[in-house]
């Protein structure tokens, strides 16, 4: 699963192929159809949480120049929003890639 998350972070700039490749790699390593689907889901979940945390850290660090409370609130808002958006984007694609990779990795 860690390999899938690393591949997802490295290939997140590819619009559709990045999450599909990450799910495929994770599912192929998992070695079964159901395990590939589960690992693909988890890769998408943890990848979206990781990107949301990065947005929170950078958003709050940039906004702290004005006020620390405002910085934390805006960073938290944008981090949560980014996490939800990337969850909606990553999870179906990584799950599909994990399903295909798991079926081929048997």
Query: pLDDT tens digits, residue range 44-101?
Result: 999 999 999 988 888 777 766 666 777 777 778 888 899 999 999 999 999 999 999 9
Q: Distance (Å, rounded) from C-alpha 8 to C-alpha 79?
A: 18
Burial of 67 (0-12, 13-18, 19+ CB in 10 A): exposed
Q: Are 80 and 2 in contact (CB under 8 A)?
A: no
pLDDT band at 4, cuts 50/70/90? Answer: very high
What pLDDT is stored for residue 63 in this prediction?
A: 67
What pLDDT is stored for residue 99 in this prediction?
A: 95
Query: pLDDT tens digits, residue range 10-50?
Result: 998 898 999 999 999 999 999 899 999 999 999 999 999 99
What pLDDT is stored for residue 71 in this prediction?
A: 73
> pTM for the full model?
0.86
C-alpha distances in angstroms, 18 versus 21, 28, 59, 73, 76? 5, 15, 25, 31, 26
Residues 6+ apart with CB under 8 A from 96: 20, 23, 40
CA nearest 91: which of 30, 43, 26, 35? Answer: 43
């Amino acid at each position: 699963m860690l390999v899938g998350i690393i591949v997802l972070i490295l290939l997140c700039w590819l619009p559709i192929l990045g999450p599909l490749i990450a799910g495929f790699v994770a599912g192929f390593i998992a070695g079964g159809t159901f395990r590939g689907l589960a690992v693909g889901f988890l890769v998408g979940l943890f990848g979206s949480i990781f990107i949301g945390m990065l947005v929170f850290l950078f958003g709050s660090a940039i906004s702290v120049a004005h006020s620390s409370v405002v910085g934390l609130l805006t960073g938290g808002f944008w981090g949560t929003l980014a996490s939800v958006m990337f969850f909606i984007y990553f999870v179906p694609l990584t799950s599909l890639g994990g399903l295909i990779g798991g079926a081929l990795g048997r």
